[in-house]
């Protein structure tokens, strides 16, 4: 508190009110010598002249002070405040000297008052500091001499000013020391609190340890006494002479032994304490060793990572060296020829340059001669008045000058022509070099590779034929690959070396890229759909639209998407969204309705959003599907989408529509819009699930402008189950040029009465244009090495992050952290198609086998949702099962990354993306052999499948026995073949499930149908 009073009293005194030229801006920084004083508050001899805080002026000094004060009041108005810097040579006037004396006296008085306040706050502090703050004898003598006259004051003025400035510096330094001391005090208090918390924690631990020691001691004493009682009882039973009183004493539960017997428990207790102390020491030693082991493990892992990276780099370098060796040999021979040609050209150009240089020197000599002549001519003209030259001489000189000028002009022209020739030669030389470089590249590519055996090219030929026979590539691609292999093209050789250590899928992709850029024209494709991930996603349809569109865009095609503008879309995934200043009118229910058109980009793709301005507010319902008028909503949208294409004068090659919601596109296009001029396209229809067909009363079809009488027929849109209803999916199959579904196996299944859901006969009638193409996944969005939803990233070659994700989700969901238990994941919609009864059984069986089960999903059917809510409540406190009955995008990524196995027991599955995503994240799939699951998962124990393609566990029958068999085999493999399981996980993560291969198949279908469309358009 004393320090606070001290600095609060000194702060106002350093400004000195009327003397602005003693500003703080001119003060230096605090010198290092004051650091100890500011931190420790101990006495220190300051640099300024010391003064005494207890100083009392004498009677004469008091008279002088009073006189100066009186004079100051009369002169205050006459003396202005100085703003100029202080000059040491300045000599003050009498009045100014009086003011200065008053300033000094006020400073001394203020110092005295401050010292008194300090003494009142802390007497000891004043006593300790008084020696260091005494006013010097020189100061007193100066004040006394000041009362004698103004002449002496002017002589000592410089010393007084120095004292004032030193005093001001000391005050600032002391104030700074006070602030730093307070900051140090706050830090010490914080550290004290932290230490106190640690002490409390240690005391609690000591108390707990003492309590445990006491408990152990009591147990030991109790055990010892019981043993003693048993011994005494045995001895008394053998001794028949024991008295009845002794027997009663033996019946006591805890007798206390006497004499020497009572020493044993104490000894035993001491032994227990010593044993505990030794155990504590052992535990501490073990902890230290465990820490060292952990550090050593981390070092080993770092070294292992470095080793693997070095090996990969070495392999890559070796591979690059092999691929570039033959190219370098060819280029060396070509470059030798180029060097010879270039040397000849350079020799010629050097000769031309030397000739130009000689001419340039001649011109320079002539120019000097002209300059001399001109100088002489000027001198002659200047002397013309004094010299009498004959006119003939003057004319002769003029003629010579004109001749020289003509000669110089010709020389300049000749030099310019030589320079221009030289520049042209340089340009020609550079262009020749460029041409030689291009020819060298072409020659290196076109010339056959001679340094590889014919066996290599034969294998390439056989591989291209095998891919064609297996229907993995088209006949055109196979022909191009065969030609390149037969010509020993360097590009196919380079592609082959690049795919040397890759799988077949990656090799196919590389070879298809090699031929695609040379053969295929670019297409204009328009997708019209009800979903698109991630802005409007309900199921797999949204993923397919965005994934296929991005893959086609990467191949160089123009791809556009038309969607409804839902009110429940995730607009944060739409970039550059804006409304167009145009209104598109479309026909519906006998009149024209306006539609507002919005544009934006989703995942880098151009998107058109149609917002109907209809009184029913078709897409302002808060959900995508499930409304009573869904048939009207999506038939309106289909007509508005085609109207948008017509009014925008678009001429797409392909219009691709998806599922029953946009199946109206096919009949509307051919019956209405082809006649209006929108006739450049072929229609491709993809049905993602034949269970959902969108049937409705036939009368509702007329709302969008279609002729009900013409279309409600057996061979068109009439539903096979009810003749008074129309089936949009059937109409799309009939009217589309291309019909696809999402996997080859599902394409076979829907041809049956059970799988086709009533459309099997229609599919059979149009089987020539019907094909199944397995979907892919968006490998950019589903990538464990970059996934934004994962806490720990990992790759196939560095799986440590997967184990960390598993531990993280266990902590999040409060599951047991037993590392030996495998985690089985399941992410699905809980509908009968997904085998909900088998999912329920798999939960219980997983726990019985010693695993953990994690389910994420919900059901649109209330009774199924209630059933699983009851199961979730049953397992609420179970440490091995968790059910999250909703959809959570971020949590789904975490489950894929954390799970060891992934179960998909679907009754039927058109394609399925979850098994592909699971394998991408290192989770081994357990699936039923149906639809796309059968096309993407191959049983690890199936000897008919090549070993490199086996990637999971499958079962055929949709019953509990089939689930049990697959689960048991998976658990047995996980528990007993750890190394083999690790290899399986790594192999699965390297499988290429991207859209590249699927997009290539769609591309081929599009191209085959385009010539027919062009012929039809020309006839129209």
Give the Å distances, CA to CA, from 367 to 353, 371, 372, 678, 868. 21, 6, 9, 78, 106
H helix and E strand count, the chain: 33, 17
- Domain membership of residue 897 (yes or no) is yes
Question: Which of these three, 447, 469, 491, is where a domain ends?
Answer: 447
Spacing of C-alpha 526 from chain mean position: 31
Same structural domain for residues 613 and 762?
yes
* Residue that the structure tokens 């001519």 belong to: 377
Instruction: List the Cα angle 869/874/878 in 5-degree steps.
Output: 120
Report how far Cα 686 is from the mean position of its chain's Cα atoms: 34
pLDDT value at residue 824: 98
Of the candidates 963, 733, 955, the residue with the CA atom closest to the CA atom of residue 837: 963
Q: What is the pLDDT of residue 440?
A: 67
Q: Is residue 253 part of a domain?
A: no
Give the per-residue pLDDT at 424: 72
Contact between 1003 and 548 under an 8 Å Cβ cutoff? The reply is no
- Give the pLDDT score at 38: 37
**Inter-residue contact 389 to 376 (CB < 8 Å):** no
Q: Does a cis peptide bond (omega within 30 degrees of 0) precede residue 535?
A: no
Could you tell me if residue 417 is inside a domain? yes
Q: Would you call 685 helix, strand, or coil by DSSP?
A: strand
d(CA 932, CA 776): 11
Residue pair 692/625 in contact (Cβ under 8 Å)? The answer is: no
Judged by DSSP in three states, 585 sits in strand
Measured distance CA(644)–CA(580) in Å, rounded? 12
CA–CA distance, 143 with 146 (Å, rounded to integer): 5
Alpha helices by DSSP H, listed for 251-262, are: none
Considering 478, 494, 519, which residue would you say is the last residue of a domain? Answer: 519
Going by C-beta distance under 8 Å and a sequence separation of 6 or more, which residues neighbour residue 7?
174, 175, 178
Residues recorded for the chain = 1020
The DSSP-derived string for 130-148 is HGGGPBPHHHHHHHHHHHH
User: Using an 8 Å Cβ cutoff, are 668 and 728 in contact?
Assistant: no
What is the domain extent for residue 492?
A: 454-519
Query: 596 CB contacts (<8 Å, ≥6 apart)?
Result: 565, 579, 580, 583, 610, 611, 613
Specify if 656 maps to a domain: yes
Distance CA 740, CA 1005 (A): 10
Token match 């990233």: residue?
A: 793
- In terms of domains, do 401 and 503 share one? no
Q: 839: which 2 tokens? A: 């999912």
User: On the CB side of 2, how many CA atoms lie within 13 Å of its CA?
Assistant: 15
Residues 425 and 541 in one domain: no
Measured distance CA(115)–CA(140) in Å, rounded: 18
Mean pLDDT in order along the chain per 10 residues (1020 residues): 38 39 38 38 40 48 52 46 41 51 52 46 42 43 49 66 83 83 81 78 76 76 76 70 48 42 60 76 77 77 76 66 60 68 71 71 72 71 57 73 76 74 72 70 62 72 74 78 78 80 78 66 92 91 94 92 96 93 93 95 94 95 94 97 94 96 97 93 96 95 94 94 94 97 96 93 95 93 94 94 96 92 96 95 96 95 95 94 92 96 96 95 97 96 92 96 96 94 96 93 91 55
Give 783-852 as a 3 state SS string: CCCCCCCCCCCCECCECHHHHHHHHHHHHHHCCCCCCCCCEEEEECCCCHHHCHHHHHHHHHHHHHCCCE
In the numeric block, which tokens belong to residue 471? Answer: 């229907």
CATH code at 839?
A: 3.40.50.2000
Q: Determine the Cα–Cα distance for residues 50 and 139; give it in Å rounded to an integer.
A: 9
Q: Do 717 and 826 share a domain, yes or no?
A: no
Closest listed residue to residue 818, CA positions, set 850, 856, 855: 850
CA 180 to chain centre: 44
Residues 622 and 506 in one domain: no
By the 10 Å C-beta count (0-12 exposed, 13-18 middle, 19+ buried), 680 is classed as buried
CB 685 within 8 A of CB 655: no
Q: Distance (Å, rounded) from C-alpha 995 to C-alpha 376?
A: 89
- Do 616 and 496 share a structural domain? no
pLDDT of amino acid 326 = 59
Q: Please indicate, yes or no, if residue 216 is contained in any of the structural domains.
A: no
pLDDT of 751 reads 95
Q: Identify the bridge partners of residue 51 per DSSP, sorted by sequence position.
A: 135
Q: Are 665 and 642 in contact (CB under 8 A)?
A: yes
Q: Do 436 and 458 sit in the same domain of this protein?
A: no
Whether residues 512 and 535 share a domain: the answer is: no
Coil, strand or helix: which one is 570? coil
Q: Are residues 467 and 420 located together in one domain of the fold? A: no
Structure tokens at 594: 């306006």
Bridge partners of 953, per DSSP, are: 926
Final residue belonging to a domain, choices 772, 787, 822: 772
Helix (H) or strand (E) holding 77: none
CB 846 within 8 A of CB 852: yes
Asked whether residue 231 is assigned to any structural domain, the reply reads no
406, 499: one domain: no
Residue 514: the pLDDT is 76
Read out DSSP for 919-955?
A: HHTT-EEEEES-HHHHHH--BTT-TTS-GGG--BEEE
DSSP code of 502? Answer: S
Longest dimension (CA), the chain: 182
How many separate domains does the chain show?
5
- Angstrom distance (rounded) from CA 130 to CA 853: 81
Q: Are 595 and 640 in contact (CB under 8 A)?
A: yes
Residues 458 and 485 in one domain: yes
Is residue 1007 one of the residues assigned to a domain? no
For 600, residues 6+ apart whose C-beta sits below 8 A from its C-beta are 574, 575, 576, 577, 578, 607, 609
The tokens for 267 are 């000894």
Alpha-carbon dihedral angle through residues 750, 752, 754, 755, given to the nearest 10 degrees:
-10
Same domain, 813 and 743: no
Q: Cβ–Cβ contacts within 10 Å for residue 938, how many? A: 17
The helix or strand, by DSSP H or E, that contains position 777, with its residue range, turns out to be none
pLDDT the model gives residue 305: 79
pLDDT (0 to 100) of residue 322: 56
Kindly give, in sequence order, each residue whose CB lies less than 8 Å from that of residue 625, ignoring residues fewer than 6 positions away. Answer: 530, 538, 661
């Amino acid at each position: 508190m004393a320090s606070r009073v001290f600095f609060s009293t000194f702060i106002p005194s350093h400004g000195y009110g009327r003397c602005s030229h003693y500003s703080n801006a001119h003060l230096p920084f605090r010198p290092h010598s004051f650091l100890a004083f500011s931190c420790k508050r101990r006495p220190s001899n300051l640099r300024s002249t010391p003064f005494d805080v207890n100083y009392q002026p004498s009677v004469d000094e008091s008279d002088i002070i009073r006189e100066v004060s009186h004079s100051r009041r009369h002169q205050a108005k006459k003396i202005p405040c100085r703003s100029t810097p202080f000059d040491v040579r300045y000599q003050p006037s009498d009045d100014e000297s009086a003011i200065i004396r008053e300033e000094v006296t006020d400073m001394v008085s203020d110092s005295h008052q401050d010292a008194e306040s300090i003494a009142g706050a802390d007497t000891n502090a004043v006593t300790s500091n008084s020696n260091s703050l005494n006013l010097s004898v020189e100061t007193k003598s100066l004040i006394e001499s000041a009362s004698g006259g103004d002449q002496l004051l002017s002589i000592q003025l410089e010393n007084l000013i120095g004292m004032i400035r030193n005093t001001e510096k000391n005050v600032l330094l002391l104030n700074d020391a006070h602030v730093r001391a307070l900051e140090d005090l706050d830090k010490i208090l914080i550290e004290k609190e932290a230490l106190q918390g640690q002490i409390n924690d240690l005391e609690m631990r000591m108390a707990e340890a003492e309590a445990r020691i006491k408990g152990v001691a009591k147990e030991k004493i109790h055990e010892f006494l019981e043993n003693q009682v048993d011994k005494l009882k045995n001895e008394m039973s053998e001794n028949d002479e024991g008295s009845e009183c002794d027997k009663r004493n033996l019946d006591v539960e805890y007798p206390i032994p006497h004499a020497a017997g009572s020493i044993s428990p104490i000894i035993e207790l001491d032994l227990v304490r010593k044993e505990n102390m030794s155990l504590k020491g052992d535990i501490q030693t073990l902890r230290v060793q465990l820490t060292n082991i952990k550090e050593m493990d981390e070092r080993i892992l770092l070294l292992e990572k470095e080793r693997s990276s070095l090996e990969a780099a070495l392999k890559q370098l070796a591979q690059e060296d092999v691929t570039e060796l033959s190219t370098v040999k060819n280029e060396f021979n070509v470059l030798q020829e180029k060097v010879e040609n270039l040397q000849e050209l350079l020799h010629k150009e050097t000769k031309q340059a030397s000739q130009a240089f000689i001419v340039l020197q001649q011109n320079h000599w002539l120019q000097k001669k002209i300059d001399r002549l001109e100088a002489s001519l000027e001198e002659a003209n200047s002397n013309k008045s004094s010299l009498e030259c004959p006119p003939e001489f003057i004319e002769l000189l003029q003629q010579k000058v004109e001749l020289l000028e003509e000669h110089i002009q010709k020389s300049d022209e000749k030099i310019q022509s030589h320079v221009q020739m030289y520049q042209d030669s340089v340009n020609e030389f550079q262009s020749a070099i460029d041409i030689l470089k291009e020819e060298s590249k072409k020659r290196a590519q076109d010339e056959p590779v001679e340094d590889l055996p014919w066996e290599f090219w034969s294998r390439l030929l056989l591989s291209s034929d095998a891919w064609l026979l297996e229907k993995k590539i088209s006949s055109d691609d196979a022909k191009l690959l065969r030609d390149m292999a037969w010509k020993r093209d360097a590009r196919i050789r380079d592609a082959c070396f690049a795919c040397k250590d890759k799988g077949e899928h990656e090799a196919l992709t590389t070879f298809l890229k090699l031929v695609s850029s040379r053969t295929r024209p670019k297409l204009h494709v328009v997708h019209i759909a009800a979903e698109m991930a991630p802005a409007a996603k309900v199921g797999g349809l949204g993923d397919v639209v965005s994934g296929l569109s991005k893959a086609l865009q990467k191949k160089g095609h123009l791809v556009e998407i038309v969607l409804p503008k839902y009110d429940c879309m995730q607009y944060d995934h739409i970039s550059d969204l804006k409304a167009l200043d145009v209104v598109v009118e479309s026909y519906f229910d006998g009149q024209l309705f306006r539609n507002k058109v919005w544009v934006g980009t989703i995942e880098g793709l151009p998107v058109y959003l149609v917002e109907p301005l209809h009184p029913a507010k078709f897409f302002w319902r808060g959900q995508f599907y499930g409304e009573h008028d869904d048939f009207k909503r999506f038939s309106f949208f289909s007509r508005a989408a085609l109207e948008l294409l017509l009014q925008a004068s678009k001429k797409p090659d392909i219009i691709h529509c998806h599922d029953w919601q946009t199946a109206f596109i096919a009949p509307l296009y051919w019956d209405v819009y082809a006649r209006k001029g929108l006739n450049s396209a072929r229609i491709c229809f993809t049905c993602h699930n034949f269970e959902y067909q969108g049937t409705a009363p036939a009368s509702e079809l007329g709302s969008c402008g279609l002729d009900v009488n013409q279309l409600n027929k057996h061979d068109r849109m009439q539903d096979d189950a009810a003749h008074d209803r129309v089936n949009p999916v059937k109409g799309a199959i009939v009217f589309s040029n291309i019909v696809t579904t999402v996997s080859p196996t599902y394409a076979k299944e829907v041809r049956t009465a059970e799988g086709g859901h009533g459309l099997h006969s229609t599919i059979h009638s149009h089987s020539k244009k019907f094909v199944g193409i397995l979907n892919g996944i968006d490998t950019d969005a589903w990538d464990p090495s970059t996934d934004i939803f994962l806490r720990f990233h990992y790759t196939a070659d560095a799986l440590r992050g997967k184990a960390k994700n598993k531990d993280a989700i266990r902590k999040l969901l409060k599951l047991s952290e037993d590392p030996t238990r495998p985690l089985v994941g399941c992410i699905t919609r809980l509908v009968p198609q997904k085998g909900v009864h088998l999912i329920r059984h798999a939960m219980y069986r997983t726990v019985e086998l010693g695993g953990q089960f994690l389910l994420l999903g919900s059901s649109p059917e209330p009774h199924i949702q209630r059933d699983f809510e009851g199961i979730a409540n049953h397992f609420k406190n179970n440490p091995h099962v968790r059910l999250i009955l909703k959809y959570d995008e971020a949590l789904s990524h975490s489950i894929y990354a954390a799970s060891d196995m992934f179960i998909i027991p679907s009754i039927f599955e058109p394609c399925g993306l979850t098994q592909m995503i699971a394998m991408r994240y290192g989770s081994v799939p357990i699936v039923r052999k149906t639809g796309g699951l059968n096309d993407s998962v191959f049983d690890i124990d199936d000897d008919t499948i090549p070993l490199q393609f086996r990637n999971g566990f499958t079962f055929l029958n949709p019953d509990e026995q089939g689930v049990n068999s697959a689960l048991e085999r998976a658990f047995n493999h996980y528990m007993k073949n750890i190394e083999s399981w690790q290899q399986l996980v790594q192999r699965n993560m390297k499988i290429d499930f991207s859209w590249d291969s699927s997009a290539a198949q769609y591309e081929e279908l599009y191209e085959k149908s385009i010539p027919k469309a062009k012929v039809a358009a020309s006839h129209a």
